[in-house]
């Protein structure tokens, strides 16, 4: 059987679909912004949006005065769409074309945001690599926001199988170095007017990971 080419899948999505017609499109990242505000960061705090795609979260964070923003995505086409939308402001953002499961940071961040990316990792070894990258990247006392399809939500996203999460299941993946601070449910309305049940989690990194 041919191995799934994740990068090709996402490049194809962003090269052939309008960003406003993909099921995960949001005109405003309201709940993400609320949870980021609840993290009480300095405007200069480093923030990474993992699998940020063509999301407008980065635009809204720039508008709110955050100055140290990175958007990472496996699809260069997605990042190019965001950069084009931002125009001159794109120069203020660090764009990283990378698979998060193979990501190794140059420096640490104060906040890691992931909406609808971790849930694609159906293989335990991939999830371990993601958590390894997260632990290398997020500093002690930093905040982690993960949004995934909730239990009872959709079973696929972008035609791919996903894993649904509740707090207990996510905590089991992340391990004891993360303390859950907030959990929220969002009924996301897709451009096709379907309801998708998302669960959002905000954690604090509480234990230094000494061995990488
Ligand atoms: C469902 S979309 C969500 C996009 C964005 N977070 C949002 O909320 O609009 C999933 C995104 O994750 C990216 N992605 C999927 N697997 C990835 C991986 N292993 N590493 C980095 N990005 C990935 C895709 O290219 C896509 O942009």
Task: Name the residue with higher pLDDT: 200 or 211.
Answer: 200
Contact 208, 140 (CB under 8 A): yes
- Residue 61's alpha-carbon distances to 43, 67, 101, 136, in angstroms, are 9, 8, 25, 23
Choosing from 73, 77, 100, 103 the residue with most ligand 1 atoms within 8 A of its CB, the one to mutate for a pocket test is: 73
**Torsion sign over Cα 140, 181, 171, 113:** negative
Q: Please give the pLDDT value at position 208.
A: 62
Task: Name the residue with higher pLDDT: 85 or 3.
Answer: 85
Pocket of ligand 1 (CB under 6 A): 6, 10, 24, 51-53, 55, 73-75, 78, 99-101, 115-117, 120, 157-158
Q: How far is the CA of 21 from the centre of ligand 1 (A)?
A: 15
Residue with the nearest Cα to atom 8 of ligand 1?
A: 115
At residue 129 the predicted structure's pLDDT band, cuts being 50, 70 and 90, is very high
Detail the DSSP E strand segments found in the chain. Answer: 47-50, 69-73, 93-97, 109-115, 138-149, 156-157, 160-161, 178-189, 195-205
**Torsion sign over Cα 52, 57, 58, 59:** positive
Q: How far is the CA of 173 from the centre of ligand 1 (A)?
A: 19
Contact 49, 58 (CB under 8 A): yes
| Model confidence pLDDT, tens digit, residues 135-182 | 999 999 999 999 999 999 999 999 999 999 999 999 999 999 999 999
- What do you get for the CA distance between the two ends of the chain, in Å? 34
Domains of the chain (ranges, CATH numbers)? 27-205 (3.40.50.150)
DSSP 53-97: TT-THHHHHHHTT---EEEEES-HHHHHHHHHHHGGGGGGEEEEE
Q: Please give the pLDDT value at position 207.
A: 80
Q: How far is the CA of 63 from the centre of ligand 1 (A)?
A: 22
Contact 187, 159 (CB under 8 A): no
Q: 99 burial class (0-12, 13-18, 19+ CB within 10 angstroms)?
A: middle
164: three-class secondary structure by DSSP: coil
What is the DSSP pairing of strand 156-157 with strand 160-161? antiparallel
pLDDT value at 72 more than 80: yes
**Torsion sign over Cα 159, 162, 167, 173:** negative
- Residue 13's alpha-carbon distances to 54, 76, 104, 161, in angstroms, are 11, 11, 25, 16
pLDDT value at 33 more than 60: yes
Our measurement of the distance from residue 20's CA atom to the centroid of its chain's CA atoms, rounded to an integer in Å, reads 18
């Amino acid at each position: 059987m041919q191995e799934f080419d994740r990068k090709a899948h996402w490049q194809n999505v962003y090269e052939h679909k309008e960003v406003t017609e993909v099921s995960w499109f949001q005109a405003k990242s309201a709940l993400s912004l609320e949870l980021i505000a609840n993290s009480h960061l300095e405007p200069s705090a480093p923030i990474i949006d993992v699998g940020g795609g063509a999301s407008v979260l980065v635009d809204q964070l720039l508008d709110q005065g955050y100055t140290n923003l990175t958007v990472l995505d496996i699809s260069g086409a997605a990042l190019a769409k965001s950069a084009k939308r931002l125009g001159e402001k794109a120069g203020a953002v660090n764009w990283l074309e990378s698979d998060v499961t193979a990501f190794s940071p140059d420096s640490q961040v104060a906040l890691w945001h992931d909406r609808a990316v971790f849930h694609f990792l159906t293989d335990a070894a991939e999830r371990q690599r993601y958590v390894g990258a997260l632990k290398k990247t997020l500093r002690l006392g930093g905040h982690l926001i993960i949004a995934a399809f909730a239990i009872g939500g959709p079973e696929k996203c972008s035609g791919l199988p996903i894993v649904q999460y509740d707090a207990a299941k996510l905590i089991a993946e992340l391990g004891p170095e993360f303390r859950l601070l907030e959990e929220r449910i969002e009924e996301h309305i897709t451009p096709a007017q379907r309801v998708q049940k998302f669960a959002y989690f905000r954690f604090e990194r509480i234990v230094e990971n000494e061995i990488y």
